[in-house]
Amino acid sequence: MKSISVPRIEGLSKMSFDELCAAMEQGAKRQGIDVVNWSEYPYCPITSFDIAADEEHLFLRYFVRGEGVKAAFTEDNDAVWQDSCVEAFFLAPDGQGYFNFEMNCIATLLAAKRKSRSEGVEHFPAEKMAQTIRFSTLPHEAFEEREGIHEWSVVLGIPFTLLGYAEGVRPEKLRANFYKCGDNTRIPHYVSWNPIEVASPDFHRPEYFGELVLE
């Protein structure tokens, strides 16, 4: 199981996009998303993420470089996993279920708490979605898949309250996994940070989450 010591950077949630990127470039921990778990989907776009936390939020800054880019969905909780997409899943504090945050390249977000892929699914309402902090290097507008090599980056700030913690509580540890996918892109792919040892593509496997230790 992989583990990350997550740096603390005060005030991230109050920064502009440029300020946040500069702070995370200097102080965050960088990890690659490069585990190809399923041989029938061998494509592995260059993907990494920076991770850090402040008093109230966990922050992720993803970097992607690869063949093609697509953004068909602009409304939150749409099927963003079909686009050029990055994802973060977190185990609930009581171990009963998990949270999934899936964001396409233009920062359209799907977020839910669930017991499994198809059971006990509770998508976040608009007021919870509004509590996240999101940035993208691409404009928030739909476009058909663009061929060729493309680079893009997105930032997601998740309040700890949206991960099941009480107001003012900053967890010491989290269980999580991070992904890159594109189900309906020209070259479908399913890549993870921590390995997933199952026969067919399935990100909804909390038993394969890694560990985050917050500094």
Domain ranges of the chain: 3-214
Stretches where the chain sits below pLDDT 50 are none
pLDDT for the residue 205: 98
- Distance in angstroms (rounded) separating the CA atoms of residues 17 and 155: 8
pLDDT for the residue 10: 97
pLDDT tens, position by position, 53-110: 999 999 999 999 999 999 999 999 999 999 999 999 999 999 999 999 999 999 999 9
CATH number of 3-214: 2.60.40.1190
pLDDT for the residue 99: 98
- Distance in angstroms (rounded) separating the CA atoms of residues 124 and 141: 22
Alpha helices in 13-57 (DSSP H): 17-27
Handedness of CA 171, 177, 180, 183 (dihedral sign): negative
Helix (H) or strand (E) holding 68, with range, is strand 57-71
* Contacts of residue 13, Cβ cutoff 8 Å, sequence gap at least 6: 54, 55, 56, 57, 59, 133, 157
CA angle 43, 89, 132 (to 5 degrees): 110
pLDDT for the residue 108: 98
pLDDT for the residue 95: 95
